[in-house]
Each structure stands twice: as structure tokens, then as C-alpha cells.
């Protein structure tokens, strides 16, 4: 189990965010590049042609700016927060369950969007998103968004699963065998929200309004469902490439996953597809954020501008199977993506996705909710069989 960073309570998180630094402290001019930029990123987010020669959005940037791109991959949001707390990085591609924690912990700094010409091309639905905007101040530039899909093996499922029940409840699959020992679950506390999302649909009497805002009764029901799932799970995954290997070689047939794994497996001619079942899905909208003590801020700003070019956004969308932060990437023909491809990836489903966010005790949908630090400790217990 990875080390878990100490996380403030929900109420303290809100208070800390409210007292953040002002926009006046932002950089006002980009100078000469420092020679490098160090980035914490999700697997598959920053490619230089090593996995597939067609996908490389690093080499030309390095040639143009003389800023060498150094990448450290992280498999969970908690790992990203821990790395940013340790320091030594300039940028991070943070999901919504990490971004506000980084702001509250003063690990990231305000971003001067006037220094990023391509900001005007960003999807209007993302420009002022609450996971990177506090009191009108932006703490990053949107990168990409998408759903947590249900990935499945077509030899075990004669048709696409209609419900997430295939990973939460023991059942006989289309191949006549039980799903026990053949499914996986995500190795991160935010997976509690997937259980809550399932309960929102199947137990409406619980009154769950948001899978990230759970009172004690709702939270207990989610943990009970996760304990039930524990009896079925062969492995809790956090490494995308290990999950890919498990689907190819270890008999795993169903799991929550990312479009990235689905694309690589399908590209390898494996019998793999994905779906969003009737309950809907959680998802992620990721932001490139700059460390408060970034040693290479000029290269960092150059990289943030580079990431918003429509050709990069287009190719990234094809590679990861998700949606670009720049809508023109779907249609302007500068990259590989097409309007039809963006529709397939869910560009029109923004309102249907319950995007990751950090659970706090002072929540919007009810009087009080279980804060994230409880999710962390209790999910460790679930995985450990407690």
C-alpha cells in the first residue's frame, strides 16, 4: 500500500482554500526558458513517441523551447499530492480529487491566463470550473476530461454489461462462469464514489445527491457495498499497464478503467470493449497546475501554452480516448481527431459525468458529510478485508 499523505478535514480544507494567495502574486512576464520542466502526470498523458511513434507531443516542444521535459508518472491522486508535497516538480496534471487539496495546501500557485494566448480556445465549460478556480483566481489550465468506463472482455460478455453490478455483486456471466476472482477495482479512496454512484441508482431511498457528499448512513452503505465487492476482486489496480497485462494474461474480464487501457488493448487486437452502464459514471477533468515553488516557471508557462494547441489536444484525445479541453481539436483537422471521434468519446456527455472532487465535511447537498481523510483510512481497511 502506498504511503498516504496526511489530509486536512473538510472544514479546514474549505477554510484554507478561502484564504489562498491573491492573483497579484502571479508571474506577469515569461522570461527565457530555464532548460527543463519537471512534470508529474498520469500514465499516457505526456507522450514522446516511445509507446507509439505517431503520438509525440514532446520532441518538437523541446526543439522549439530548449526546455527538456522530464516526466514522473503517478497512478493515483494521492500519489500526486504526495509528490507535490515533497517538491522538486514544476507541474502536475491533477484531477478534481487532488486539485483543491493542492490549492488548500498552498502547493500550487495562481496562473496568469494573460500569459497563455490559447486560453481563449478552452472549452467554456472548463474555464471557470470549481476544481481549479477559487474566488475568481485560476490555479491551472484544463488538459483533458473523460469518464471512468466499465472495461469488459467480449468472450465473457455476449453483450455490453448494462449495470456496474457485474463488478459489485456476484453473478454468472455470459460465458457461464462466476465473476468471482475475475474482476478488479481501483486502488484509490475515490473508488468509494463509484459505490455511492451505484447506490444512487439502486437505492434511491438513501437520498444520495452526489457520490462525493455522503452522510454517515450513506457512507456506511457505500462501505458495505465495497466490502461485498472485496470478495470478488482479484486485484486492486492502480498501474494502467499492470491492469492491461491482467486482462491479457490473468483472466480478468471486467473492471472500472480508463479509455487509455481500452484503446491499447483493442489496438493489440484483444477482445476488449468498454461501456457506460445505466447508473452513469464518475469521471475526471484534469488540470495542469504549477507548483508554488516551481524552479522552472518560464518553461512551465511555455508547456501550459503548448498543451492547449489544438493539434496536441486532438492527438491526445485519440491516444487516450477522452475529450480535449479545446473543442476546436475535434474539428479543425490539425490533428488526428474528428468530430465523430469526439462524439464517440463523449464530448456531448459532459453534464452526465460526476467528476471527481475532494469530499469535505461542509458539503452543499446536506448538513454534514464524511470528509476525505475518512475515505482514505476506511478504504485501506476495505482492501485489507476489514
Percent helix, strand, coil in the chain (nearest 5)?
40, 20, 40
Q: Where are the alpha helices (DSSP H) in 20-95?
A: 59-65, 77-86
Full DSSP string of 141-202: EEEEEEE-EEEEETTT-SS--SSTHHHHS--B-TTSSB-TTSEEEESSGGGHHHHHHHHHHH
pLDDT for 16: 47
pLDDT for 386: 73
Per-residue pLDDT of 177-196, as tens digits, reads: 999 999 999 999 999 999 99
Structural domain range at position 250: 147-282+359-383
Q: Where are the alpha helices (DSSP H) in 74-116?
A: 77-86, 96-104
pLDDT for 22: 42
CA neighbor of 284 nearest in space, from 212, 228, 234, 357: 357
The CATH number that applies at residue 45 is 3.40.190.10
Q: Are residues 223 and 370 both part of a single domain?
A: yes
pLDDT for 25: 67
For the chain, what is the total number of helices (H) and then of strands (E)? Answer: 14, 14
Residue 235 in grid coordinates: 486485484
Beta partners for residue 369, in sequence order: none
pLDDT for 170: 97
Exposed (0-12), middle (13-18) or buried (19+): which is 176, by Cβ within 10 Å? exposed
Q: Are residues 193 and 206 both part of a single domain?
A: yes
CA neighbor of 210 nearest in space, from 163, 13, 219, 374: 219
Phi, psi of 185 (to 5 degrees): -140, 160
Q: Are residues 270 and 293 both part of a single domain?
A: no
Q: Are residues 339 and 316 both part of a single domain?
A: yes
Tell me, yes or no, whether 54 lies in a domain.
Answer: yes
Tell me, yes or no, whether 4 lies in a domain.
Answer: no
Q: Are residues 365 and 252 both part of a single domain?
A: yes
Q: Are residues 90 and 42 both part of a single domain?
A: yes
CA neighbor of 288 nearest in space, from 262, 325, 263: 325
Query: Structurally, how many domains does the chain consist of?
Result: 2
pLDDT-flagged residues of the chain (< 50): 1-12, 14-24
Q: Are residues 57 and 198 both part of a single domain?
A: no
Q: Are residues 266 and 289 both part of a single domain?
A: no
Per-residue pLDDT of 9-62, as tens digits, reads: 333 454 444 444 444 467 899 999 999 999 999 999 999 999 999 999 999 999
Amino acid at each position: 500500500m502506498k504511503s498516504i499523505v496526511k489530509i486536512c478535514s473538510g472544514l479546514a480544507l474549505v477554510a484554507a482554500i478561502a484564504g489562498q494567495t491573491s492573483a497579484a502574486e502571479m508571474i506577469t512576464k515569461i522570461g527565457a526558458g530555464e532548460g527543463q520542466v519537471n512534470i508529474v502526470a498520469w500514465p499516457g498523458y505526456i507522450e514522446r513517441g516511445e509507446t507509439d511513434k505517431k503520438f509525440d507531443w514532446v520532441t518538437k516542444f523541446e526543439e522549439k523551447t530548449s526546455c527538456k521535459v522530464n516526466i514522473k508518472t503517478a497512478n493515483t491522486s494521492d500519489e500526486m499530492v504526495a509528490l507535490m508535497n515533497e517538491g522538486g516538480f514544476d507541474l502536475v496534471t491533477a484531477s478534481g480529487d487532488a486539485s483543491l487539496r493542492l490549492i488548500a495546501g498552498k502547493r500550487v500557485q495562481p496562473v496568469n491566463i494573460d500569459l497563455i494566448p490559447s486560453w481563449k480556445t478552452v472549452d467554456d465549460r472548463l474555464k471557470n470550473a470549481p476544481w481549479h478556480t477559487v474566488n475568481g483566481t485560476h490555479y491551472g489550465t484544463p488538459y483533458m476530461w473523460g469518464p471512468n468506463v466499465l472495461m469488459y472482455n467480449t468472450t465473457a460478455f455476449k453483450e455490453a454489461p448494462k449495470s456496474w453490478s457485474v463488478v459489485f455483486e456476484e453473478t454468472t456471466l455470459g460465458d457461464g462462469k462466476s465473476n468471482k476472482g475475475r474482476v478488479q477495482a481501483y486502488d484509490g479512496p475515490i473508488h468509494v464514489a463509484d459505490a455511492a454512484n451505484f447506490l444512487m441508482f439502486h437505492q434511491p431511498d438513501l437520498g444520495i445527491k452526489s457520490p462525493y457528499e455522503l452522510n454517515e448512513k450513506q457512507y456506511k452503505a457505500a462501505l458495505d457495498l465495497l466490502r461485498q465487492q472485496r470478495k470478488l476482486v482479484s486485484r486492486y489496480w492502480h498501474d494502467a499497464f499492470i491492469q492491461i497485462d491482467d486482462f491479457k494474461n490473468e483472466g480478468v474480464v471486467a473492471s472500472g478503467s480508463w479509455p487509455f487501457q481500452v484503446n491499447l488493448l483493442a489496438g493489440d487486437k484483444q477482445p476488449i470493449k468498454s461501456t457506460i452502464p445505466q447508473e452513469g459514471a464518475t469521471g475526471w477533468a484534469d488540470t495542469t497546475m504549477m507548483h508554488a515553488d516551481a524552479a522552472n516557471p518560464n518553461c512551465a508557462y511555455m508547456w501550459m501554452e503548448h498543451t492547449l494547441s489544438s493539434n496536441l489536444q486532438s492527438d491526445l484525445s485519440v491516444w487516450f480516448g477522452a475529450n480535449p479541453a479545446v473543442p476546436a481539436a475535434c474539428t479543425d483537422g490539425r490533428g488526428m481527431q474528428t468530430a465523430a471521434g469526439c462524439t464517440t468519446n463523449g464530448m456531448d456527455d459532459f453534464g452526465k459525468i460526476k467528476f471527481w472532487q475532494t469530499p469535505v465535511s461542509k458539503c452543499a447537498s446536506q448538513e454534514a458529510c464524511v470528509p476525505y481523510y475518512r475515505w482514505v483510512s476506511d478504504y485501506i481497511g476495505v482492501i485489507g478485508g476489514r
